Amino acid sequence: MAEKPKVSPRDAIRNRIGVATKLLRGCVHNGHVKGIQRLSRKLRAEVEFLESLLEDVANIKDQHLASTNLQYLEAIQFIFDCTQNVTAVLQTFVYLLPSGEGRTVMIDVVTSKGSHWVKVITRKRTAIHRKWLGEGQYEDKCITETAEDFIRASGHNPHQGNNHPKIVFVFFDGVTKDVAVALQKVGVAVVGQQFDADNLDQTDTPLEIVQVLRGIPTATDQMRQAVQQVLHVAIPTSNMIYLDISSMIAWVSGLTHGGERFRYQDDIIEEQAELQRKQPLWPVFQEVSKGMKLCACSTAVTAFKKIISVVGGAGEQQRAEELLAQVTILSDKPSSRFVQLPTTSRIKCRAKIIFGTADMLNIPILTANEGFVRSVNQQGITFDATLHHPCALSEKKLAS
């Protein structure tokens, strides 16, 4: 049998550039996922790094190979391919130590609206095991210490319904049975082939260039099925759409019902009217609410009624009555994670009640309050929100 032709380092590097470029194209198709731009930036940096290696292949050193993150980024994309329910990638969450000191963890992949946190591990299983035994030569944490950090962070960041995210560690080079058991004891689900510690290589033999750049060796159908099995969650399907104050105002605004044709003295409303001429919002509302029931919490409805009575024109007040006749009014019941948010210029008490009630009831919310959504996301909290551009009440602002 003829031997397979040996792949040169140059060809191997070019192959990996092709892989990274393909992963970048995948990011474009997943533009709705939180953190995808961060993943894209990391991939572009890898492409630039690999292209720089091509300039002097003969002098590539071990430290050059150690600095590539492409296998790790490819592993993240592998998780993407395993599920359609990715919520975020490379997302930072905040948690507190018992002393009250703040810490953060970076979650590689968040799925199912926050119900699962996935960490991908491409490090060699021998190195992981030796570090767990206390034999590692590096200052980084052993895998069980990392797991404890994740568990502590999940306790401070419940997802919808106040349930703690499930932690999943995916080992692409496998893991020893001893390490797997230790992780499972602290509450981590383990995915990856398991090995007896007695069968591990006792030395970390440096890999040749082609081996390092060959990609993920165990990203097989079996691995895919295991990931899909552990991530399989029945996501509650809601037949309701939750409206906040901003979405109810936009729903009845003259700007979304023909008023965009007029000119306005108010610069902000004129700007919103111009946007409506280019990107009409009413068809979006109709599409989003098709076959759905509308709902809002008591605080939002009370505030909306007050605003309409003072600022709304005749047509807007009429449409407000018609809208509220369709809206199911829910009691205020904000989730604990929203109640506990710090009150700031962007995160106001009323907004915490309104958005927190949607979070507690696991109902997707329609909103133009981008500032609040971004600020809450920066606190490490994700929730199901559909953003739209704002539309103020306009009928009383028509230019004479």
Quick check: 190 pLDDT over 80? yes
Give the chain's radius of gyration (CA, Å).
26
| pLDDT for the residue numbered 335 | 85
Strands 240-243 and 365-367, by their bridges, are: parallel
The token pair that represents 92 in the structure block: 């930072």
Residue 206 binned pLDDT confidence (cut-offs 50, 70, 90): very low
CA angle, corner 283, sides to 389 and 31, nearest 5? Answer: 55
| pLDDT for the residue numbered 293 | 92
Residue 161 binned pLDDT confidence (cut-offs 50, 70, 90): low
- 176 strand-pairing partners: 195
| pLDDT for the residue numbered 162 | 65
Which region among 199-203, 288-292, 384-388 has the lowest average model confidence (pLDDT)? 199-203
> How many CB atoms lie under 10 A from the CB of residue 204?
11
Quick check: 182 pLDDT over 70? yes
Quick check: 326 pLDDT over 70? yes
Q: Which of 257, 284, 206, 231 is nearest to 79 (CA)?
A: 231
Quick check: 235 pLDDT over 60? no
Task: Please state the rounded mean pLDDT for residues 17-30.
Answer: 80
Which region among 43-47, 63-67, 242-246, 367-371 has the lowest average model confidence (pLDDT)? 63-67
Q: How far apart are CA 25 and CA 19, in angstroms?
A: 10
The residues, any chain, with a CB within 8 Å of residue 220's CB and separated by 6 or more, are: none
Q: How far apart are CA 390 and CA 367, in angstroms?
A: 8
Place of tokens 């509450």: 187
Task: Please state the rounded mean pLDDT for residues 309-327.
Answer: 94
> How many CB atoms lie under 10 A from the CB of residue 124?
16
| pLDDT for the residue numbered 95 | 86
First to last CA, the chain: 89
Task: Please state the rounded mean pLDDT for residues 204-219.
Answer: 47
| pLDDT for the residue numbered 204 | 46
Q: How far apart are CA 8 and CA 57, in angstroms?
A: 10
Q: How far apart are CA 193 and CA 346, in angstroms?
A: 46
Measured in degrees and rounded to the nearest 5, phi and psi for residue 243 equal -105, 140
| pLDDT for the residue numbered 70 | 82
- 34 strand-pairing partners: 88
Which region among 152-161, 233-242, 366-375 has the lowest average model confidence (pLDDT)? 233-242
Q: How far apart are CA 113 and CA 120, in angstroms?
A: 19
Task: Please state the rounded mean pLDDT for residues 296-311.
Answer: 95
Tell me the domains of the chain and their CATH numbers.
9-231 (no CATH), 240-397 (3.40.50.1010)
Q: DSSP letters along 91-121, please?
A: EEEEEE-TTS-EEEEEEEEEEGGGTEEEEEE
The token pair that represents 125 in the structure block: 């299983």
Quick check: 208 pLDDT over 60? no
The token pair that represents 365 in the structure block: 């919310």
Q: How far apart are CA 313 and CA 42, in angstroms?
A: 50
Quick check: 280 pLDDT over 50? yes
What is the percent of the chain with per-residue pLDDT over 90, rounded to a whole number? 30
